[in-house]
Amino acid sequence: MHFNDIVGVALSIDSKTDVLIKLIGLMRREANSNEIDYHELFRIFVRLRKIKLLRYFFNLKTEFQFEVSLFIMALEEDAYDIAMLLHREFKYLMRNISTED
Domain limits, the chain? 3-100
C-beta separation of 24 from 7 below 8 A: yes
**pLDDT tens digits along 68-101:** 888 989 999 999 999 998 888 888 777 776 555 4
pLDDT tens digits, one per residue of 37-68: 888 889 999 999 999 999 998 888 778 888 88
Say if residues 44 and 9 touch (Cβ distance below 8 Å): no
pLDDT at 13 over 80: yes
Distances (CA, A) of 98 to 43, 91, 93: 23, 10, 9
Compute CA 20 distance to the chain's CA centroid, rounded to the nearest angstrom: 13
Query: How far is Cα 59 from Cα 65, in angstroms, rounded to an integer?
Result: 9
What sign does the dihedral 91-75-22-64 (CA atoms) show? negative
